[in-house]
């Protein structure tokens, strides 16, 4: 598959009635294409894919998921944003090699970062040789595999949120205010949840939602350790929302996962978006219940202290 064919598959969703828009821009100015299924009212969730260049199988998965939900009219309340390909420059390099890269110096730079290898099919980074899923401002630079010089993978960037794709996803997320996010990656058939420094309450919430997603997909649920700077980590740490990294495809497969693996991956993941949305709606209403409960408690406390106050005042008055 070429990069153009991949983009064409996203664009063709418009022929089926889905509306496309830009979630932002890449370093080279490519549009980061997105769509929305369901209502813009109520709870929203965001699903993104293709942040690692070679993982375009996840883009193909999102195309199928969005189509499935839209054509079967499955989203009855709330809505789902799909960001198909967060790293379009990287995907083009992984799919087409560096022949399309605009300048010779950049070509040389990429080749050096790729261990002088002409084969870019396993490339993960963006065009600046930054691993975008380590560049977010969430314990940035503290991951076990982090590198501090440009590389085809694991380079965290020279400072957090330095990359245009990362800034785009952050801005878009802040704009659409999702109650939950899912980041699709390949491979391993596992779901990562949680991040350092979470409250006990958030941890229980995220574990409960994660268990449902784990049962649905058959993928093992794992608490994140020794990995930082990812989009999921940023969502948890900064936005305090449940966020998951889902790694599709068996670990025995070779990178990049081929299109033939898509039917099985789709089968295991087709109900993930709707289930995640419904879980987000549920926990949001439980937050509302919690807030009402807290309010009642506060009112009771206030009444009590007001009562005490009166008693004191009364006491003082009588003393006088």
CB of 18 to Zn ion, least distance (A): 25
Residues between 42 and 61 with contacts to Zn ion, criterion CB under 5 A: 52, 55
Sorted by sequence, the CB contacts under 8 Å of residue 76 that are 6+ apart come out as 38
Contact 56, 1 (CB under 8 A): yes
Contact 245, 227 (CB under 8 A): no
- CB of 134 or CB of 179, closer to Zn ion: 134
Say how many C-beta atoms besides its own lie within 10 A of residue 41's C-beta.
9
| 185 near Zn ion (CB under 5 A) | yes
- CB of 183 or CB of 237, closer to Zn ion: 183
Q: CA 74, 78, 83: angle at the middle one, nearest 5? A: 85
Round to whole Å and give the CA distance between 202 and 179.
13
Binding window for Zn ion (CB under 5 A); candidates: 72-80, 178-186, 215-223, 230-238: 178-186
| 232 near Zn ion (CB under 5 A) | no
- CB of 55 or CB of 165, closer to Zn ion: 55
Binding window for Zn ion (CB under 5 A); candidates: 160-168, 181-189, 203-211, 266-274: 181-189
CB of 55 to Zn ion, least distance (A): 5
- CB of 185 or CB of 232, closer to Zn ion: 185
Sorted by sequence, the CB contacts under 8 Å of residue 244 that are 6+ apart come out as 180, 181, 182, 183, 191, 192, 193, 206, 209, 210, 213, 232, 276
CB of 272 to Zn ion, least distance (A): 17
Q: CA 53, 96, 173: angle at the middle one, nearest 5? A: 30
Helix (H, G, I), strand (E, B) or coil at 258: coil
CB of 185 to Zn ion, least distance (A): 3
Residues between 141 and 160 with contacts to Zn ion, criterion CB under 5 A: none
Total residues in contact with Zn ion, by rule CB under 5 A: 3
Binding window for Zn ion (CB under 5 A); candidates: 28-36, 146-154, 177-185, 289-297: 177-185
Residue 147 is given by DSSP the state B
* Residue 155 token pair: 């380079």
Enclosing H/E stretch for 209: helix 200-217
Binding window for Zn ion (CB under 5 A); candidates: 34-42, 71-79, 97-105, 184-192: 184-192
- Residues of this chain that interact with Zn ion (CB under 5 A) are 52, 55, 185
């Amino acid at each position: 598959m070429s990069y153009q064919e991949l983009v064409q598959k996203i664009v063709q969703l418009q022929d089926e009635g889905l509306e496309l828009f830009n979630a932002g821009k890449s370093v080279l100015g490519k549009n980061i294409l997105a769509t929305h299924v369901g209502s813009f009212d109520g709870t929203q969730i965001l699903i993104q894919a293709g942040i690692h260049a070679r993982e375009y199988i996840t883009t193909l998965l999102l195309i199928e998921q969005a189509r499935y939900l839209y054509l079967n009219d499955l989203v009855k309340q709330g809505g789902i944003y799909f960001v198909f390909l967060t790293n379009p420059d990287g995907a083009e390099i992984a799919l087409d090699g560096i022949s399309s890269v605009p300048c010779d110096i950049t070509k040389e730079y990429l080749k050096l970062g790729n261990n002088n290898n002409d084969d870019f099919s396993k490339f993960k980074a963006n065009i600046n040789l930054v691993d975008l899923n380590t560049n977010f401002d969430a314990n940035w630079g503290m991951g076990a595999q982090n590198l501090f010089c440009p590389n085809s993978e694991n380079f965290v960037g020279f400072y957090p949120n330095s990359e245009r794709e990362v800034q785009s996803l952050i801005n878009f997320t802040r704009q659409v205010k999702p109650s939950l996010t899912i980041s699709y990656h390949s491979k391993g058939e596992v779901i990562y949840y949680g991040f350092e420094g979470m409250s006990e309450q958030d941890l229980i919430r995220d574990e409960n939602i994660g268990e449902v997603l784990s049962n649905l997909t058959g993928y093992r649920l794992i608490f994140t350790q020794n990995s930082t700077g990812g989009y999921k980590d940023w969502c948890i740490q900064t936005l305090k929302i449940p966020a998951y990294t889902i790694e599709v495809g068996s670990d025995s497969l070779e990178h990049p996962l081929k299109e033939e693996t898509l039917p099985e991956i789709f089968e295991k993941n087709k109900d993930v978006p709707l289930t995640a949305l419904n879980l987000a709606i549920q926990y949001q209403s439980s937050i509302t219940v919690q807030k009402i409960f807290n309010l009642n408690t506060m009112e009771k406390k206030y009444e009590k202290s007001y009562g005490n106050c009166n008693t004191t005042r009364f006491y003082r008055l009588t003393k006088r």
